[in-house]
Amino acid sequence: MDNYNVVLDFFKNAAEPVNAGKVVEGTGVDRKEVDKIMKKLKEESVIVSPKRCYWEFKK
């Protein structure tokens, strides 16, 4: 599975909104790569921010 899908699955399975640091911890993907993937997910409106710096899968 590529890093994009790893990060996407992490968001789908997260019980609460998470920040980029938690995504790095939970997936083992490099921080710079996580930042790029999260930027793409935001642009695609796949993840939304319920509070500053925290993101969750859009329901």
> In whole angstroms, what is the distance from residue 3 CA to residue 37 CA?
8
pLDDT for res 48: 97
Q: Which CATH number fits domain 3-57: 2.70.98.10, 1.10.3720.10, 1.10.4030.10, 1.10.10.10?
A: 1.10.10.10
> In whole angstroms, what is the distance from residue 45 CA to residue 48 CA?
7
- 23: nearest Cα among 56, 49, 50: 56
Confidence of residue 59 (pLDDT cuts 50, 70, 90): confident
3-class SS of residue 57: strand
pTM assigned to the model: 0.91
> In whole angstroms, what is the distance from residue 28 CA to residue 59 CA?
25
Domain boundaries, the chain: 3-57
> In whole angstroms, what is the distance from residue 39 CA to residue 15 CA?
21
Query: For 1-58, what is each residue's pLDDT tens digit?
Result: 799 999 999 999 999 999 999 999 999 999 999 999 999 999 999 999 999 999 999 9
